[in-house]
Amino acid sequence: MPDTVEEQSGSEQLYHALNKKMVEMAQLLNATNLKSLDITDPKDKSFERLKVLWDSAAKVAEATKSLGQTAGILKPDDGGEEKKSFVDSIAESRK
């Protein structure tokens, strides 16, 4: 793996940039208490802006994963295991 950002390929740099943005998105969402938002104020667009973040989260995550695999940072899916939904995975972990 290259030592400096300048030595990384464009796909490696973009992967790391998107991964950083996912962390920032998660931190922003985790720091926001929906109960504290004034959804009765039509001028307050906080909820709508947060909704844009969580609506796009899966797209950003998939793009980041794909870039990571293309750049050789992440292992490609082997396709050997049956994919489970997030909800099914959580349910199984609680058994």
Per-residue pLDDT of 17-29, as tens digits, reads 999 999 999 999 9
Q: What is the largest CA-CA distance in the chain?
A: 51
Report the domain count for the chain. 1
Question: Considering the domain boundaries, does residue 30 fall inside one?
Answer: yes
Per-residue pLDDT of 48-70, as tens digits, reads 999 999 999 999 999 999 999 98
> Given the structure tokens 């973009």, which residue do they identify?
14
Question: Considering the domain boundaries, does residue 92 fall inside one?
Answer: no
The tokens describing 77, both together, are: 């899916």
Question: Considering the domain boundaries, does residue 49 fall inside one?
Answer: yes
Instruction: Provide the Cα torsion 12, 17, 19, 20; round to 10°.
Output: 140
Range of the domain at 15: 5-76
Instruction: Provide the Cα torsion 76, 78, 79, 84; round to 10°.
Output: -80
Question: Considering the domain boundaries, does residue 86 fall inside one?
Answer: no
Question: Considering the domain boundaries, does residue 70 fall inside one?
Answer: yes
Question: Considering the domain boundaries, does residue 90 fall inside one?
Answer: no
